């Protein structure tokens, strides 16, 4: 069956007209007419919407030799949640990783701009590079927040996958978690060792070398932790929205954890730039809060088991 024939069958099975489909997809009636008559193919975003609307996979829509017996299985899966095909999952992961790169890059440029300031305010070139790098970092971060957000359904809905797709995702996630754990450990080591190395450089190479090294080190450890933390959160959204049922009311008090990380990053940046407080203080506070929260969860879990 062609894509058009499949669309006609899906419309008939769901008692929908072409006008109904056009309204649901926010496209013209003529566009749907071209699709059902095999005179055109929907864009990827519309195919994903059609896939979730009728509870079938992208493979079923696009492959003419797809076995019909699999359609009922896919519909059963979709009834248990928002069906996510392999293509949609890959698109979400790719899109989210681009966001991670954008945010990490913007923050890194913002911090790294201080390297040029270490060479003094009297050099026009260094001053220009300082402002250029800082403004570039700010623009990148602002641009991220003004972009149209995609894949909101994956973040907000209860998800349903083919078993094979979900098992493969979990396997890849475990492999990625090891890499992210190494990144965090390396970041913490750089954070703890940078002050001692900076002191050594100041003694033998002067204050400028010390300052340059410390700003570069701060950029590296913060970028590693942000990259790893955000990347793990991307994977955890998939797991949480697929395996977990909606959280009960007594768990809502722990929602602050999701906001704690970006607040800590902002606090660290403020401390680094203004010297109002030590950049290490927000990290220590966050660690203590997470430790207390973990202990509370363990106690509550043990109480339920008893």
- Greatest Cα-to-Cα distance within the chain, rounded to the nearest angstrom: 80
254-283, pLDDT tens digit by residue?
556 556 767 777 777 777 677 767 766 776
The tokens for 173 are 């996630």
CB 88 within 8 A of CB 164: no
At residue 220, the pLDDT reads 92
- Taken in order of first residue, the domains within the chain and their CATH numbers are 3-79 (1.10.260.40), 83-246 (no CATH)
Whether this prediction's pTM lies above 0.75 is answered by no
Quick one: what percent of the chain has pLDDT higher than 90?
A: 9
Q: Average pLDDT of 95-115?
A: 90
Environment class of residue 224 by beta-carbon count within 10 Å: exposed (0-12), middle (13-18) or buried (19+)?
Answer: buried
223-241, pLDDT tens digit by residue?
998 898 889 888 888 888 8
139-151, pLDDT tens digit by residue?
998 888 888 777 7
CB 269 within 8 A of CB 142: no
């Amino acid at each position: 069956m062609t894509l058009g024939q499949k669309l006609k069958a899906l419309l008939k099975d769901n008692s929908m007209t072409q006008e109904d489909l056009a309204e649901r997809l926010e496209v013209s009636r003529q566009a749907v007419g071209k699709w059902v008559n095999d005179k055109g193919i929907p864009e990827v975003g519309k195919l994903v919407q059609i896939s979730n609307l009728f509870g079938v996979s992208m493979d079923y829509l696009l492959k003419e030799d797809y076995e019909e017996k699999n359609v009922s299985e896919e519909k059963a899966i979709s009834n248990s949640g928002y069906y996510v095909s392999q293509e949609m999952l890959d698109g979400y992961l790719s899109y989210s990783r681009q966001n991670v790169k954008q945010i990490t890059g913007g923050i890194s440029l913002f911090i790294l701009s201080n390297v040029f300031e270490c060479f003094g305010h009297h050099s026009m070139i260094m001053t220009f590079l300082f402002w250029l790098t800082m403004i570039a970092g700010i623009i990148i971060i602002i641009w991220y927040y003004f972009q149209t957000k995609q894949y909101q359904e994956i973040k907000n809905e209860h998800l349903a996958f083919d078993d094979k797709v979900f098992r493969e995702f979990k396997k890849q996630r475990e492999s990625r978690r090891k890499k992210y754990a190494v990144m965090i450990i390396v970041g913490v080591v750089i954070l703890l060792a940078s002050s001692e190395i900076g002191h050594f450089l100041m003694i033998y190479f002067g204050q400028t070398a010390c300052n340059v090294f410390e700003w570069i080190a701060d950029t590296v450890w913060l970028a590693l932790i942000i990259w790893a933390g955000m990347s793990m959160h991307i994977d955890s959204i998939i797991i949480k929205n697929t395996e977990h049922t909606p959280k009960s009311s007594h768990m809502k008090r722990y929602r602050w954890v999701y906001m704690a990380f970006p607040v800590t990053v902002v606090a660290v940046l403020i401390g680094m730039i203004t010297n109002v407080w030590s950049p290490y203080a927000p990290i220590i506070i966050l660690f203590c809060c997470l430790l207390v929260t973990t202990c509370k969860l363990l106690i509550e879990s043990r109480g339920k088991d008893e």
